[in-house]
């Protein structure tokens, strides 16, 4: 990816070191009633280490009477110290046995994902999906002022929710022909706005969202749009997928992977998550845990696969 995203999180090493530890280094003690509370060496799996139990039992002094018990205490203390020293050496040897490769190769990633990605790139090299020429990157006026272009990017993505690309593209063309700026939308009647964007999905709700969002932009951002995910998500009608696409297209800043229902579906089919995800937001977090950042700029290749997969059951 081109920039650091607060949504990317580092991997966690989970490989079992399989080294032996003892009580002096955080090990366990005998169960009450089963011994004298002396430390017992054990390995990382919790099994007694080698001959440590037998050696400790044989080393215990024989107590002849109550009068002789106090004289054995110093000897027991010395033996505990010796056992701790021996376990420290064993632990050090186990740590030295862990190779650098074990540490660097322990992060999870899907099997054969690079081969699958190359296959996707091959399938998408023709760039013949509707998103390639009618997506949000093609729905704004490139000759307009920068703040106007960014506003049109925002509106095109708000209209695209639950809507086919060609329907969104047609609605955006009608809006641009009518005049698509913050001022023109604020002056426009709701009825007129509804007629211009119809038949996008949930067009009545989108009329309200567009009017509310545009008023917020006028009052709080001087007619421009926010450049952060947190601020974009405060706008009515804007979700995580839209917010990441807006920062990428309008601000040229890759903040994360934009995942819609189609990408979510493909990710689960390819098993690109540790476990099956339930919604696009879960899929986004699962992808960002392992996918190399340089791939995030190409996530539209996954979106373009939807037309090829819609007929697959």
State the Cα–Cα distance between residues 259 and 242, nearest whole angstrom: 9
Contact 227, 189 (CB under 8 A): no
The answer to whether residues 250 and 239 touch, using CB atoms and an 8 Å cutoff, is no
The C-alpha angle 218, 223, 224, rounded to 5 degrees, equals 130
Asked whether the whole model's pTM tops 0.85, one would answer no
CA distance 23 to 38: 9
CA distance 87 to 285: 42
Q: Would the CA dihedral through 210, 212, 215, 217 be positive or negative?
A: negative
Distance of CA 71 to the CA centre of its chain: 62
Q: Contact, 241 vs 7, CB < 8 A?
A: no
Name beta bridge partners: 42: 21, 48
Report d(CA 61, CA 108) in Å as an integer: 51
Mind listing the pLDDT tens digit of every residue in the chain (313 residues)? Answer: 444 444 444 444 433 444 444 444 444 444 444 444 444 444 444 444 444 444 544 554 544 444 444 445 556 656 665 655 554 444 444 443 333 333 334 489 999 999 998 998 898 888 888 888 898 999 999 999 999 999 999 999 999 999 999 999 999 999 999 999 999 999 999 999 999 999 999 999 999 999 999 999 999 999 999 999 999 999 999 999 999 999 999 999 988 888 988 889 999 999 999 999 999 999 999 998 998 876 555 555 554 444 443 333 2
Q: How far is CA 192 from CA 174, 223, 260, in A?
A: 11, 21, 29
> For the chain, what is the largest distance between any 2 Cα atoms, rounded to a whole number of angstroms?
105
Sign for the CA dihedral angle at 12, 16, 19, 21 comes to positive
Q: Quick one: pLDDT at residue 165?
A: 93
Q: Which residues are catalytic?
A: 241
- What are the structure tokens assigned to 136, written together? 């949000």
The answer to whether residues 24 and 48 touch, using CB atoms and an 8 Å cutoff, is: no
């Amino acid at each position: 990816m081109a920039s650091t995203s607060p949504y990317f999180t580092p991997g966690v090493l989970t490989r079992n070191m399989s080294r032996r530890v003892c009580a002096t280094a955080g090990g366990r003690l005998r169960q009450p009633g089963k011994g004298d509370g002396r430390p017992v060496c054990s390995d990382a799996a919790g099994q007694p280490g080698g001959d440590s139990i037998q050696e400790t039992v044989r080393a215990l002094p024989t107590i002849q009477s109550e009068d002789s018990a106090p004289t054995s205490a110093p000897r027991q203390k010395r033996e505990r110290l010796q056992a701790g020293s021996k376990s420290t050496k064993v632990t050090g040897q186990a740590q030295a046995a862990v190779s650098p490769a074990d540490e660097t190769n322990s992060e999870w990633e899907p099997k054969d994902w690079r081969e699958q990605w190359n296959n996707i790139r091959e399938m998408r090299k023709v760039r013949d999906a509707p998103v390639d020429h009618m997506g949000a990157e093609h729905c704004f006026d490139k000759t307009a002022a920068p703040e106007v272009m960014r506003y049109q990017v925002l509106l095109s993505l708000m209209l695209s929710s639950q809507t086919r690309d060609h329907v969104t593209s047609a609605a955006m063309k009608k809006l641009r022909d009518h005049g698509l700026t913050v001022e023109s939308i604020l002056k426009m009647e709701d009825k007129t706005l509804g007629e211009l964007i119809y038949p996008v999905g949930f067009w009545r709700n989108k009329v309200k969202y567009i009017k509310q969002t545009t008023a917020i932009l006028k009052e709080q951002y001087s007619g421009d749009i926010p450049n952060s995910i947190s601020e974009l998500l405060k706008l009515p009608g804007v979700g995580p997928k839209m917010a990441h696409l807006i920062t990428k297209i309008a601000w040229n800043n890759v903040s994360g992977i934009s995942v819609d229902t189609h990408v979510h579906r493909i990710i689960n089919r390819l098993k690109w998550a540790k476990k099956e995800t339930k919604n696009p937001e879960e899929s986004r977090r699962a992808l960002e845990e392992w996918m190399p950042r340089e791939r995030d700029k190409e996530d539209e290749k996954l979106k373009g696969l939807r037309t090829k997969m819609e007929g697959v059951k």
